[in-house]
Each structure stands twice: as structure tokens, then as C-alpha cells.
Structure 1
């Protein structure tokens, strides 16, 4: 069964069901067939979270299953402190999990795909960020 994370741009973070889904997966339980949802508070935040460097990290985590953040940094050929910052941002939004592996943190992805939805009005956008905005 494909695990999908549905993502919308909203007025405040809404991680409805995300923590419960992650806990069920960790416990080896069947997960609710209703998809998990993540609401991102602004278009600027959406652009920051889904910038190319973060998408590269997500892809590398899925493809290579690194045992630690340091190994992930080697895979993407970036400095570990930068990767650590990006990984923690992704974890804060529930896009990855960090599993304790001794002294290391192992990044994992629990879903197979994203589904983006919602309307983005062209007025009242949060444009205070210099982060690039993903289409």
C-alpha cells in the first residue's frame, strides 16, 4: 500500500493524524487508510521547506537509507552542519523521522509520495522570506 502525505498551504500548521500514523508505523501496526495531512502556514514557508536542497536530502534518504546525518551529508556532498540544520527542519515538519542509532540520528522517510493541493491566492501572500518558492 502506498503511503501518501497530503500537503496544503494553510493559515497554521495542521499535522492532523501525522504523529499517530508515525507511532503506528513504528509499532508495526497497520496504518489508517485515510492519508496523513500537513498544512504549511505560508507560501514562503512552503518554498523554504521544499527548496531543491531539501528535496535532494529527501531523495537521498529514500534512495540510500543513510545510517546517520553525517553519512547523508557525505552522500549529498555537503557540510554536516548545513545538512543537520536542513534535516531538523524537515523533521520539525514531520517530513522525516530521526531514529536514535547509538550516538547517531538515522533519518527515515515513512511515506512514498507527496500530494499537493489547495488554492494559493495571489493577494495577501507572505513574501517576507527570501527563500525561493516552489511551483
Structure 2
């Protein structure tokens, strides 16, 4: 069974369904009966959260199941403080969980795939830049 995280770009963040899904996982319940949705507030935030370095971290977590953030940093060949910052950002958005393993935090991912949906209007688009695009 494939576990899917449904992601949209919305006007304000909505992680309510995601919190329910994470609670269900903690209780050992079937998460597919409670689909999870994450609404990212802007295109700029979406681009920051899903930049290649973060996607590489998520992929490494799924493939290698590291016991700590330090081990994850070693796997992706990056400095632990940078990886820690990225991991905490991903955890803040519910894209991964940090489980206490003694003094270490073990990053885990509960889903198998993303599904992106929704409309991105071209008017009033929040790109995170105040610089106008030249014609």
C-alpha cells in the first residue's frame, strides 16, 4: 500500500490533516484511511521547502533510514549544522518526524510519495521577490 502526502499551494498554511495523520501513525493506525494534506502558503515557500537539497535529504532518509541527523549529514556529505537546519524546517512543515533516540534525533518519513495539486494563479502570485520581471 502506497502512503501519499497530498500537497497544494494555498493562501495560508494548513497542516491540520497532517497532524491527524501523524497522530494516527503514532497510534499504529492505517494512514490511508485518513489521507493527509499539506497546504503550503506561497510559491516562494514551496520552492524553499522542495529545493533539491531538501529532496535529497528526504530521499536519503527513505533509502538509508539513518539513526541520527549526524548520520544523515554523513550520508549526504554535508555539514551537520546545515543538515540540522534543513531537517528542522522539513519537520516544521510535517514532511518528516524526529524521533528521540537517546541524545540523538532520528529523522523518519512516513509517506512513500507526494501528490501535488491545485491551481497557481498568475495574478497576485507570491514569488518571494519584489523585483519586477522585465518584459
- Normalised to the residue count of structure 2, the TM-score between the two structures is 0.91
Q: Displacement of 1:30 after TM fit?
A: 2.5
Q: Where does structure 1 differ by over 6 angstroms across 4 or more consecutive aligned residues?
A: none
Unaligned runs of 5+ in 1: 131-135
SS in structure 2 of the partner of residue 17 of structure 1: helix
Sort the Cα spacing of 1:129 and 1:102 in 2 relative to 1 into closer, same or farther, 3 A. Answer: farther
Structure 2 Cα separation of the partners of residues 103 and 2 of structure 1: 32
1:117-132 equivalence runs, <5 A = 117-129=117-129
Q: Can you list the C-alpha shifts for 1:9-33, whole angstroms capped at 9, x where unaligned?
A: 0011111321121122122122352
Unaligned runs of 5+ in 2: 131-135
Q: Does 1:101 align with 2:101?
A: yes
In structure 2, the residue matched to 1:89 is: 89
1:1-135 equivalence runs, <5 A = 1-129=1-129
Structure 1 Cα separation of the partners of residues 129 and 49 of structure 2: 12
In structure 2, the residue matched to 1:133 is: none
The count of aligned residue pairs is 130
Structure 1 Cα separation of the partners of residues 5 and 129 of structure 2: 25
Q: Can you list the C-alpha shifts for 1:66-89, whole angstroms capped at 9, x where unaligned?
A: 000000000000000000000000
SS in structure 2 of the partner of residue 105 of structure 1: strand
Of the two, which has the highest radius of gyration? Answer: 2
> 2:4, 2:111 within 8 Å by CA — same for their partners in 1?
yes
Q: Displacement of 1:129 after TM fit?
A: 4.8
